Amino acid sequence: RNVALKELTFQDTTCKEWITGLNRIFSSDKAVDGNTNNHFYRGYSCSKTSNRLPSAFPVPTWMVILSKEYAVNRYAIYNRGD
């Protein structure tokens, strides 16, 4: 069961790109929307931080905040496939 599904997320920066005439925003919530399509430029279903990092976060940061406690014995992270 996906306990992170639709939970609150945060990333320090968000990548925004003009693709096929549209401004695509790769926000943190895309990582927990249930879509595991890992083709970044086909489904636009991945979250992505910006290449410009603020001084408060020296490395790209992403997190999920679960609404209650869970005993987690397995987790899966899907990376970009392109």
For the stretch 41-80, pLDDT in tens is: 887 889 998 877 666 667 888 999 999 999 999 988 888 8
Q: Structure pTM?
A: 0.81
* CA–CA gap between residue 66 and residue 13 (Å, rounded): 20
* Dihedral sign computed on CA atoms, order 39, 40, 41, 46: positive
- pLDDT, position 27: 95
